[in-house]
Chains A and B, each alone.
Chain A
């Protein structure tokens, strides 16, 4: 008989494996219990509990921090799907707090105001798995080296403009494809150029993919956006402001879930796109001054 007290918790396999179970799904930002239930009913694979969606953080400005534990616990009590929450880049004490709350995944997120402009959190020190943002392969591999068990392309959060998500997914994909075509003795220089550990660079060159699940995020607002990201190689989709800043959130949420599963079937995506009401209004990334672009945060 196998006894549970002999079990190993917090290993890389259960952390990365948790993200494997989210693949092909949509993770939705929610700010209260009501939204969390709508997300679960629509078929979300997880919810991200936060006090303000990125569009409001952007509009209201100020320092943005980890959410109130009371708010996170209310959402945990209301739904049975996994609950994620965000901490500021480098803020390991916020992460320690979320670990005691037993959230299912921590997002060390550029959407919040960074707490450390040099170091990210040493994520190996935690039982709880982390997802981190990346705009390119080198950044993704640096996060994985620090212990991230899942990567999401950053896009530009809170805009409803999918163009940066596209740029980041294409960039990560093309850099992976480039590594797979290299001679082994060229990988040393590739690692130097990517500013990433050689062992991880070599692993990507051999397998043709990241060692962890790759989701996409930042600006996804429609079923078509989700289908496009999946076709560009995302394993799944985060939708932040795109759902609850739109007209009919429940309908749009369910439509994005369908489009993420049937991303190669344009007829299903077309049907899912009908009669969704007003999409989030959005901001063009090009109109946002560079210092206010969230994707630039993280190093």
Chain B
């Protein structure tokens, strides 16, 4: 196809905007706090959905606007790079911390900011999602969520205030306009008889939806007026013309159907922005279907000679820059676990509903745009199938070669099977899945996505050694399964481990479900209007309005650490009898200091990732047992399944996990992802690792798996290297693997970046599900990336 020049370079203007954005200081905007407090004081007796709609509407009407050199208008806050505190999620930490984090850096809390934040805390202290959940769980289960988090057993025991992972029906906004959606709502409302059962709830939802959608149209008009005002004062003729054009576009979209590619791009962005204004938090409304929803507009403009590919690429790059202006506030502690992620997943490839290759020319332009601009967001994903053209696949490898870890590859076949298996949906719908969340998927425009707590399985090994007690804090967390030193067989230890899981997996799921039930206090009427069938049913997404829910249940982290640890106990203690349980326990308690010979034995035992049944089968059993222990219904009675990915949770969990029999040292990271190998232990090379990785998680039953491979840049040399990489990926998928992503910067580069961060401001690496600027990662995460075995092509 070769749509674009091989060595495309950024336009001067895009380059300048990129530099300005990346050097813009992170800022906290308290404007939303003011609006939030006003609305909640004014609306005490109204249903939550109305309160949230009023909040959204008022924020749209009153927010301070910001316009910079980007021809696409709309920023989240009044700053170039800013975020809104979101006290409804949880705010106790805001009281303690003097610094808040944004994905690209930290912000000192000045007295002026503190004034507003304290007001927010005063209002939300006892009614935020975390405190509500904590209180209920304490009453109902007799356990303290905070303790479980502090001991490193759970992360995100409560979801964010609106952490649904929704992929709005962008195409609908582009084709019908928000006016069209209002018409749809009014049509349904007209059929309503409020005297019928539940009809009043529906009526409230319609009022809320209209209020919210209207708010977004007001915001666009405000941008139009501001642009027009600026145009009137602009002396530069060219810029003046541009501002006038921008004003005309924002006067028209998103209220009306887009008439060309330029308008469609602006409407697309307003849709995303609306979702973020409503719930300013991670993973929200990814541009998953960007290429599919924008394609008809591009195609028409192209056919009629109104746009060149260079212009389209530049516009896409401006849109990518808008993505990177989004941000959210998180505690410094959360920064360690979620750093740098917005989770703006963008899917390429995939299938059409009738099973043909869904790739279009915009897929190519997105690859080219990202290859030139190399931004951490969006996260470009490829939904892989065998009908993709060789040429397109080679273009994907070109992007991998840049070292930004994109695109991540996802297996279409497994994804389709998964949606059919869990949701019994029509095949045509299952085929349209796109990537959303971390490594999960979604039926765009039709699905409620959410994620439950991440759960540290490696910690359960520790608990098994200590009869359910946490060694690092002395707190009792698990079941009483007996003194490990009294175990006479491997089976006794293994059964004790399973008994711990039997208690902890259902507990974790129940606590998560409780939190998601309480999350219904924070509906999202704007986003819900853009998810089918919320309007038809008259229900918010949080009440189950979406046609499907993805059902991402408890997420297991550290399974490979646990499997490798069990293999050590099996081999060294009970088969070869080189160690006693007491010796091993002592060595772990001492973090192997003075027990170097024990450490060596631990490391020399069989390890997962070598295409050997001994340990791989243990890992597979753990995943299978946890799957069976996990209930199959969520808080609304819909299908749910456990999940397997780490993001950077393996680092955070590792910090609260002591030394383990697999040779992991106390407080050091766990193994990343869900099927990656423990650093340096995959001695049989990439094909063996791929076979193990494809084997241990049933990727149809599970909501995902997560696999990181790292290659030297030389590894992908030439077309021959590219083909071999593609064969490797295809085989992994043939064997049932679902997700794989590649880092291909060299170890030398990363080490140099640690020493001279100033020279590597733009170095992007893939961190377990998310791309991030390497220098913004903490030292442990950096080291962890370095340690992952460098596989040479």
- Tell me whether A and B are bound partners: no
Binding site for A on B (CB under 8 A): none
Binding site for B on A (CB under 8 A): none
